[in-house]
């Protein structure tokens, strides 16, 4: 008899637990669905439906990013956006990535007042994209400039010789796949790369001249690869004013007739989920958690690759010198 009583008690406990988890699961699903429907209806982005200034942040290394380009196009079509602050904190990146971003931003500037704010650093391709704006501000001690193009490659021929490894190749022409990492770079290959770099460099210089109202000679004199503080850049006419976001907003209000005291709202690729009609902050967080776990593993592996080898093609990037080890 006691065994039956114990079994009955256990059964009731199991039923309570099962009911609890069923209820919790139902509530969780309901929250996701409700949040998704609200997002699709526009409630999640209600702030972006009223007049505001859009802040578009460009941080880190610049690469060609299709999602970012789509976001810029979306901002250009948003009627509620009355002006755009391009907030830059980037040492540069690939030249083609900078070019694609610059072109998209120029199209945006044709529809919306665009001002660039260089924060800690806006150098190389970071400065290139600042040129897309009709007004550039930077802090007194912001780092900018580094106007130029770089093509880096390594060679481990001596190491392979030490290890007793020999590489060979059959080519359709002497310059095919040059330079490689296992033979000394030929004068012909070096000349080819020089032509490639200088062609891209001339394009960059002409862009600076055109956008900053300088002669090509003046632009070239500033494009020797050196970096400048915001103060130096102002003297060289590479930027228009010293200041931060407040100065950028003031310019929009006084020079582009943007209404005063409009809120500044972030526009970012991470928040732009219109491709998923029922996306909600909860479901997005779950996806981001998985993605971060995956990219964290990949990032650890990528850390084994030297920094100069992680960008393909021509590079326009300022590489901050690493601190030297101090002897005790």
Which parts of the chain have pLDDT scores under 50?
1, 38-44, 274-312, 323-328
At 168 the pLDDT is 86
The CATH number assigned to the domain with range 46-148+225-287+294-317 reads 3.90.226.10
Q: What is the pLDDT at residue 291?
A: 37
Residue 36 is predicted with a pLDDT of 56
Q: In whole angstroms, give the CA distance from residue 225 to residue 92.
A: 13
Tokens, residue 33: 């669905």
| Residue 176 designated active-site | yes
Question: Domain coordinates of the chain in residue numbers?
Answer: 46-148+225-287+294-317
Summarize pLDDT for 183-216 with one digit per residue, the tens.
Answer: 888 999 999 999 999 999 999 999 999 999 999 9
> What was the pLDDT predicted at 282?
40
What b/e readout covers 24-33, taking b as 16+ CB neighbours within 10 angstroms? eeeeeeeebe
111 given a catalytic annotation = no
Distance CA 222, CA 75 (A): 33
β partners of residue 267: 56
- Which pLDDT does position 167 carry in this prediction? 86
How much is the pLDDT for 169? 87
- Global pTM reads 0.73
Q: Cα 216–116–74 angle (5° rounding)?
A: 115
pLDDT digits (tens, 9 = 90+) for 267-316: 998 866 544 433 334 434 433 443 344 334 434 433 433 443 344 457 77
Half-sphere exposure of 66 (CA within 13 A, CB side): 0
Name the residue with tokens 């650890």. 300
Which residue out of 176, 194, 292, 302 is catalytically annotated? 176
Choose, from 94, 124, 132, 283, the residue flagged as catalytic: 124
């Amino acid at each position: 008899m006691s065994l039956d009583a114990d079994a009955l008690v256990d059964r009731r406990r199991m039923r309570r637990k099962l009911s609890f988890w069923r209820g919790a699961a139902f509530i969780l699903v309901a929250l996701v669905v409700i949040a998704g429907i609200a997002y699709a209806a526009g409630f999640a982005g209600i702030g972006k439906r009223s007049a505001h200034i859009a802040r578009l942040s460009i941080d880190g290394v610049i690469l060609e990013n299709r999602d970012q380009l789509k976001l810029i196009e979306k901002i250009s079509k948003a009627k509620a956006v009355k002006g755009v602050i391009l907030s830059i904190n980037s040492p540069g990146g690939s030249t083609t990535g900078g070019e694609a971003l610059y072109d998209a931003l120029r199209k945006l500037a044709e529809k919306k007042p665009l001002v660039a704010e260089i924060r800690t650093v806006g150098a190389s391709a970071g400065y290139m994209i600042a040129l897309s704006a009709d007004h550039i501000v930077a802090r007194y001690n912001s780092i900018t400039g580094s106007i130029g193009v770089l093509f880096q490659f390594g060679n481990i021929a001596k190491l392979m010789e030490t290890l007793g490894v020999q590489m060979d190749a059959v080519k359709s022409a002497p310059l095919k796949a040059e330079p490689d990492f296992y033979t000394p770079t030929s004068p012909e290959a070096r000349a080819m790369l020089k032509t490639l770099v200088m062609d891209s460099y001339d394009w960059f210089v002409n862009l600076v001249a055109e956008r900053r109202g300088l002669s090509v000679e003046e632009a070239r004199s500033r494009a020797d690869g050196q970096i400048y503080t915001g103060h130096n850049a102002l003297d060289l006419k590479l930027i228009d004013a010293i200041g931060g976001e407040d100065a950028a907003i003031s310019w929009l209000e006084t020079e582009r007739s943007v209404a005063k005291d409009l809120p500044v709202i972030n526009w970012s690729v991470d928040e732009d989920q219109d491709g998923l009609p029922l996306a909600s902050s909860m479901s997005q967080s779950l996806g981001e958690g998985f993605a971060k776990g995956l990219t964290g593993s990949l990032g650890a592996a990528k850390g084994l690759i030297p920094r100069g080898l992680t960008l393909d093609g021509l590079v326009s990037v300022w590489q901050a010198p690493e601190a030297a080890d101090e002897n005790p």
